[in-house]
Structure 1
């Protein structure tokens, strides 16, 4: 089954200002390892960047750029989005369909917004989903710590069966790619 890796919103303006997301450096390192393994298996890697008309995430601004430690390759694809849903008003679905993708591996930022929304939308569109359980993060919120939020999403998303396709939550080292 053709797979693609979706790396959501790992951008300077979201990862670098203090306070940083929970385990920010560890998450970026896991994403780099995951995407390197994907590329080695000829699995497409798609970087999705949130864009706003104004700062801090205006297209092309320093804040909009991928976080400095994120490793990219010339063949990686880029998608710009304006909502937490990486599919809404973007060509992500068309890109995935053109590549024959039926399974997406999702990682990035923010567990409780863009990662959650994109995971649900992907499953709703019929894509098999693997959530890289240790390669997504968020900031602490007044109601819950970032660690608790990630744990909650890893537990709840994989229990949704109504989409008719599985959503798995696996640590990044457990995710296998086949060429």
Structure 2
């Protein structure tokens, strides 16, 4: 069976996909390894995953795990690299090395080009941005859930000899939401959860 047949079969099975990007132990660790507001983001992602699993029209569920470099908190095989949320046997796990989760992986064969892609996870200004952009280019409708993606505070270059300027993570997250929305991503909130995986 070739990849086109696989995609047609997937499209018949589900028109929505829940993509969990880099929802790994290190992201929810205590600072400085974990993201700010980790407890709220984790709770929201857990709610979304549970809702997807119990939906009358369940989506394809894909967990993407980043393989960090040697010495990184998410170095492959280390405790921080492990997925933070347990997976079920019918769910997919994809390991990646790049910000764009489609690059160098089989993710494209798991996601029908006609599917609506619901995205949560980390980090807003790296993997979320790159993967959402790639999904738009391949023709998917992309929905990003506010409050269910996160990143770190961003140090800004400062050459005046004073203290480094820091842009808070929450500000960075909103910047990325605005950028992706302008590109065609649909922003949805946690209040939309009851309808997020409804058959349409």
> Same fold judged by TM-score > 0.5?
yes
Counterpart selection for 1:63 from 80, 87, 90: 80
The equivalent of 1:168 in structure 2 is 186
| Residue 55 (structure 1) shift | 3.4
The equivalent of 1:121 in structure 2 is 134
The correspondence of residues 56-135 of structure 1 with structure 2, limited to 5 A, is 56=72, 57-67=74-84, 70-97=85-112, 102-135=115-148
The equivalent of 1:149 in structure 2 is 172
Counterpart selection for 2:64 from 48, 53, 64: 48
| Residue 178 (structure 1) shift | 1.7
TM-score under structure 2 normalisation? 0.78
Equivalent pairs, count: 170
Q: Is the 8 A contact 1:79 1:91 kept in 2?
A: yes
| Residue 121 (structure 1) shift | 0.5
| Residue 134 (structure 1) shift | 1.1
| Residue 154 (structure 1) shift | 1.4
CA distance in 1, matches of 2:47, 2:192: 12
CA distance in 2, matches of 1:74, 1:23: 30
Q: Is the 8 A contact 2:28 2:42 kept in 1?
A: no
- When the two chains are superposed, the root-mean-square deviation of aligned CA atoms in Å is 1.8
CA distance in 1, matches of 2:104, 2:18: 19
| Residue 74 (structure 1) shift | 2.7
User: 1:60-110: CA deviations, max 9, x gaps?
Assistant: 22111012xx2432322100000000000000010113xx75110111010
CA distance in 2, matches of 1:147, 1:31: 17
Q: Is the 8 A contact 2:27 2:38 kept in 1?
A: no
Higher-Rg structure is 2
Cα gap change, 1:177 to 1:23, in 2 (>3 Å): same
1:178 aligned onto 2:182: no
Higher helix share: 2
Structure 2 gap segments, 5+ residues each: 1-13, 157-166
User: 1:41-75: CA deviations, max 9, x gaps?
Assistant: 211211100003523333322111012xx243232
